[in-house]
Structures are given as C-alpha cells and as structure tokens.
Amino acid sequence: MGLFLMTFLVVHLIINLLLLIDPSRELFNIAAHFMGTNPLIQMFQWVLFAGFAVHIVLGVILQIQNWIARPTGYKVKASSEDSFFSKYMIYTGIIIAVFLVIHFVNFFLRAKGILAVIPEFELDGVNMHMEDMGIVVVQLFQMPMYVIGYIIALLIVGFHLDHAFQSAFQSLGLYNKKYTPTIKVIGHVYSIGITLGYILIPVYIYFSK
C-alpha cells in the first residue's frame, strides 16, 4: 500500500510541475481536465482515497499495539528507534492527515463544485471548455501563510516518506545486508526529490506574482 501511494506522489508531482513549464496554465488544465473526466481515473481516485484511509488506520492500530506491548518502554532502545521521525511516525502521520484534509477541501471539493464554482479556462480570449484548476492553485500559492504552512507540511511529509520507503521494502522481505544499503540510498533520494519538487511549486508561484 505504501509503494502504491508513493507512486501516486510522483505522478501528482509531474502534473503539478506543468504549472512551471507552461505559465499559461494550458498544459496543467488539460491534464487536470483529463484526470477529472476520465472514468477509469475517477474510479482509481476512490481506490487512492481508500489507500490513504487504510494506511492511516493501520498506522494508528500499529502504534496502539506498540504502546500496549511496551507501556513502560525499553531501557535499551534498538538502533532503528534512534531516529526522531521513526519514533514519532504516528505524530507526523497525524500532521500529514490534517494537511491532506486541508488539501482535499481546497482542491478536490472545489473541483467538484461543492465549495465554489471554478471559472472556465480561457486562452487568448477563447473559452477552452474546461475548468481553470490552474488559477485555483496559483491563487492559493500567492497567499504567504498558505505557502509557509504548505512548505512545513511537505518537510514533514519528506521525513515521513524517508522512513516509510524503507519500511515498505522491509514488509516485502527485502530488508537484509545485501539490499538494505541500496534501499536506504534510493529512499533518501526519493524523499528529497519529492519534497523539493513539491516545495518548488509554491515558492516559484509566490515569487513570480
């Protein structure tokens, strides 16, 4: 499940980066329109939401089981528990869950016309007959407090991903002396790349206004 969600993050980042490649927002809106109208992708999005929900619930259950099993904690902690973010995954997970709810409200509900009507996209005065999701992103990323909160949340996501990447492969039975060093390096590269990629978008948009 974790690998499935991490793959989604890569696809989502590629689409969002279209806003930087094409300031007219045409490419981004075409991609967003395709994602929002394609029946297969619309079905897939509910699988994705279910994946997030299952991931969060399983994480909470696992943490509760750990608390019950170790009510007083060990006197000597294992080396795997030395990392701050490995010890506090449940708390970073809660922060990320709150971030996802805010993200869901700002984008998904607006895209569905539940909170507000999104204007149609016009290019050189011509109505392109699709919603201008790009302007929604741009307007949000022109708000300094939103950008700051977004960056803080993404930094936490990055640390969470770094630990989750290794855990995902460990659950597949690939945690051993032969594979672990390579998995850790790939995990670091992935986490840093995803984090910086997502941070680049609001920073670029904010300072380009």
Inter-residue contact 119 to 133 (CB < 8 Å) = no
| Tokens describing residue 167 | 């855990």
- Residue 75 within any structural domain of the chain: no
Q: Which residues contact 89 (CB under 8 A, 6 or more apart)?
A: 59, 63, 160, 163, 164
- Least confident residue range of 11-25, 134-148, 158-172: 158-172
Tens of pLDDT along 170-181? Answer: 666 666 677 778
Structure tokens at 37: 């109208």
Q: Which amino acid is at 64?
A: I
Domain extent, residue 156, equals 2-69+83-207
Domain presence at residue 17 = yes
Q: For the chain, what is the domain count? A: 1
85, pLDDT greater than 60: no
Calpha distance 15→30 (Å, rounded): 10
Q: Is 45 domain-assigned?
A: yes
Quick one: average pLDDT of 187-194?
Answer: 92
Write the pLDDT tens digit of every residue in 15-73.
999 999 999 999 999 998 898 888 888 888 788 778 777 877 877 787 788 778 865 55
Residue 76 domain-assigned (yes or no)? no
Segment 169-192 mean pLDDT: 77
Do the domain assignments include residue 77?
Answer: no
To the question of pTM greater than 0.95 for the whole model, the response is: no
Please check whether residue 27 lies inside any domain of the structure: yes
Q: Is residue 170 part of a domain?
A: yes
Residue 140 placed within a domain: yes
